[in-house]
Amino acid sequence: MNAIEIIGLTKIYFSSGGRKKVEALKDVSFEVATGSIFGLLGPNGAGKTTLIKIILGITHPTTGTAMLLNTSIDNYFIRRKIGYLPENHKYPTYLTGVEVLKYFGQLAGAEPTSLKKKTDELLELVKLSNWKKNKIKTYSKGMMQRLGLAQALINDPEIIFLDEPTDGVDPIGRKEIRDILADLKAQGKTIFLNSHLLSEVELVTDRIAILNKGVLLKIGSVTELTEKKEEYKISVDAENLIEEIASSGRSFHLKPQKINGGYSINVSGDEELNLFIDFLRSKNYLIKEIVPLKSSLEDLFINIVNESEKGMK
Amino acid sequence: MLYTLREAFARKVFLFFMIISGLILLTEIVIFSMVDTEKIIASLNSTGDPLMRGQIIEKIELAVYSFITSLLLLLAIFASASFVPNMLEKGTVDLFLSKPISRSQLLLGKYFGGLLVVFINISFLILGMWLLVSFKFSYWDFSFLSTILFIVFTFAVLYSLLVFFGVLTQGSTAGMMIAYFIYIILSPLLAQAYIQIDVWTENKIYIYLVKGLYYIVPKTAELLGTDAINVVTGAGIDDYQPIITSFLFLILMLGFSIVLFRKKDF
Ligand SMILES: Nc1ncnc2c1ncn2[C@@H]1O[C@H](COP(=O)(O)OP(=O)(O)OP(=O)(O)O)[C@@H](O)[C@H]1O
Ligand SMILES: [Mg+2]
Q: How far apart are CA A158 and CA B166, in angstroms?
A: 34
Phi/psi at B76 (5° precision): -60, -40
Contact B6, B110 (CB under 8 A): no
Phi/psi at B173 (5° precision): -65, -50
| Residue B103, CA distances (Å) to B87, B109, B258 in order | 12, 10, 8
| Residue B56, CA distances (Å) to A13, A74, B42, B128, B134 in order | 64, 62, 10, 19, 13
3-state secondary structure of B240: coil
Strand partners, A72: A67
Mean predicted confidence (pLDDT) in A233-261 = 73
Question: What percent of chain B has a predicted confidence (pLDDT) above 70?
Answer: 88
Q: Which residues contact A36 (CB under 8 A, 6 or more apart)?
A: A3, A185, A190, A191, A206, A207
Centroid of ligand 2 to alpha carbon of A52 (angstroms): 9
* Whole-number pLDDT of residue B54: 73
Whether B266 shows a pLDDT value over 80: the answer reads: yes
Q: Is the model more confident about A131 or about B28?
A: A131
Q: Sign of the C-alpha dihedral, residues B68, B70, B71, B73?
A: positive
- The full set of domain ranges for chain B reads 2-263
Q: Is the model more confident about A79 or about B40?
A: A79
Binary contact (A109, B96; C-beta < 8 A): no
Mean predicted confidence (pLDDT) in B188-209 = 79
Mutate which: A90, A95, A161, A164, vs B, most B CBs within 10 A: A90
* Whole-number pLDDT of residue B8: 60
The pairing of beta strand A207-212 with beta strand A215-221: antiparallel
The beta-carbon neighbor of B89 closest among A53, A56, A90 is: A90
Mean predicted confidence (pLDDT) in B231-241 = 75
Centroid of ligand 1 to alpha carbon of A311 (angstroms): 22
Q: In which band, very low, low, confident or very high, does the pLDDT at A8 lie, cut at 50, 70 and 90?
A: very high
Q: How far apart are CA B141 and CA B138, in angstroms?
A: 10
Contact A96, A134 (CB under 8 A): yes
Instruction: Check residue A302 and report its DSSP letter.
Output: H
Beta-strand runs (E) in chain A: 2-15, 20-33, 37-41, 63-68, 71-72, 82-85, 159-163, 190-195, 207-212, 215-221, 231-236, 257-259, 262-266, 287-292
Whether B197 shows a pLDDT value over 80: the answer reads: no
* Whole-number pLDDT of residue B14: 66
Mean predicted confidence (pLDDT) in A173-181 = 90
Total length of chain A: 313
Lowest mean pLDDT among A4-8, A55-59, A195-199, B137-141: B137-141
Whether A190 shows a pLDDT value over 90: the answer reads: yes
* Whole-number pLDDT of residue B18: 75
Strand partners, A28: A9
**Which amino acid is it at B158?**
L
Contact A83, A161 (CB under 8 A): yes
| Protein residue with least CA distance to atom 4, ligand 1 | A13
Q: In which band, very low, low, confident or very high, does the pLDDT at B137 lie, cut at 50, 70 and 90?
A: confident
Return the ∠ at Cα A207 (arms to A204 and A211), rounded to 5°.
Answer: 110
What tens digit of pLDDT does each residue of B67-108 get?
778 888 888 888 888 889 989 998 899 999 999 988 998 899
What is the rounded average pLDDT for all residues in chain B?
Answer: 81
Q: Which residues line ligand 1 (CB under 6 A)?
A: A 13, 15, 22, 24, 42, 44-50, 87, 196; B 265
Contact A155, A83 (CB under 8 A): yes
Q: In which band, very low, low, confident or very high, does the pLDDT at A219 lie, cut at 50, 70 and 90?
A: very high
| Protein residue with least CA distance to atom 26, ligand 1 | A44
Total length of chain B: 266
What tens digit of pLDDT does each residue of A78-104 get?
999 999 999 988 888 888 899 889 888
3-state secondary structure of A135: strand
Binary contact (A77, B100; C-beta < 8 A): yes
Q: In which band, very low, low, confident or very high, does the pLDDT at B231 lie, cut at 50, 70 and 90?
A: confident
Mean predicted confidence (pLDDT) in A208-221 = 91
Whether A137 shows a pLDDT value over 80: the answer reads: yes
Q: Cβ contacts (< 8 Å) between B1 and chain A: which residues?
A: none
Q: How far apart are CA A238 and CA A226, in angstroms?
A: 30
The pairing of beta strand A37-41 with beta strand A2-15: unpaired
Contact A133, A80 (CB under 8 A): no
Binary contact (B98, A58; C-beta < 8 A): yes
Helix B37-44 vs helix B50-80: crossing angle, to nearest 10: 120
Q: Which atom of ligand 1 is nearest to the CA of A15?
A: 4
Residue closest to B152 by CA, chosen among B258, B239, B243, B87: B243
- Residues within 5 Å of ion ligand 2, judged at the Cβ atom: A 48-49, 87
3-state secondary structure of A7: strand
* Whole-number pLDDT of residue A249: 67
Q: How far apart are CA A106 and CA B256, in angstroms?
A: 28
Q: Which residues contact B203 (CB under 8 A, 6 or more apart)?
A: none
Residue closest to A254 by CA, chosen among A286, A288, A280: A280
Mean predicted confidence (pLDDT) in B116-134 = 85
Contact B118, A113 (CB under 8 A): no
Whether A230 shows a pLDDT value over 80: the answer reads: no
Q: How far apart are CA A118 and CA A156, in angstroms?
A: 9
Beta-strand runs (E) in A20-129: 20-33, 37-41, 63-68, 71-72, 82-85
Question: Which of A22, A89, A201 is the best mutation target for the ligand 1 pocket, counting ligand atoms within 8 Å of the beta carbon and taking the most?
Answer: A22
